[in-house]
Amino acid sequence: MKKFLFPLLASLTLLFNCDVADKLTKFDLNLQTNYTIEPTVLVDSPFNTFTPDVTTESESTFQNNNTNKDLIESIKLSRIQLTIDTPADGNFNFLKEIHVYIEAEGLEEIEIANRFELENSNSLTLGLDVLGQELKEYLKKDSYSLRVQTTTDETISETHEIIIDTRFRVDAKILGI
């Protein structure tokens, strides 16, 4: 009986430690940018706006999490939320549909989030549906930019400044684990 007890305990300990180690190799990378929607009289016509380049500071973020870009296994967008900064009384009622695309130097543009058939909710914030794309190569770059394609169902008479908060889930090998 003792012959079987030690291998069983050793296997359980190893399995538990692997799960703990796996959780230690994951961390979140939170980045923020903004974009502007100018007043428009067009309705039901998609138009594009671009964000300024987003500096990833990935090297220092990876170092702070005891890893480096060569040890990154996966980076995926886990959350994206839009917030109206101005006008103070603004809301997202003018939106019918929205798509967000990412691009970085040397990489093709891909869609990372969207939302369709938006209801009028008078909300200052809007969460988008994340598409689950692998973004490791984009976030390993020094910077990336976003293109926001918007379709409105109402005219807007004021400029809207919108903040984009993103959370990326990083899965890395930490200290070679």
Check if the beta carbon of residue 102 is closer than 8 Å to that of residue 117: no
**Most trustworthy range by pLDDT among 35-39, 107-111, 115-119:** 107-111
For a pLDDT cut of 70, what percent of the chain falls above it? 84
Is the pLDDT at 124 greater than 80? The verdict is yes
pLDDT digits (tens, 9 = 90+) for 11-61: 545 444 444 545 568 999 999 999 999 998 778 888 889 898 999 887 888
Check if the beta carbon of residue 102 is closer than 8 Å to that of residue 53: no
Is the pLDDT at 139 greater than 50? The verdict is yes
pTM of the model: 0.84
Mean pLDDT of the chain: 86
Position 150: which residue type?
T
pLDDT attached to residue 31: 95
pLDDT attached to residue 171: 94
pLDDT digits (tens, 9 = 90+) for 76-99: 999 999 999 999 999 999 999 999
pLDDT attached to residue 59: 81
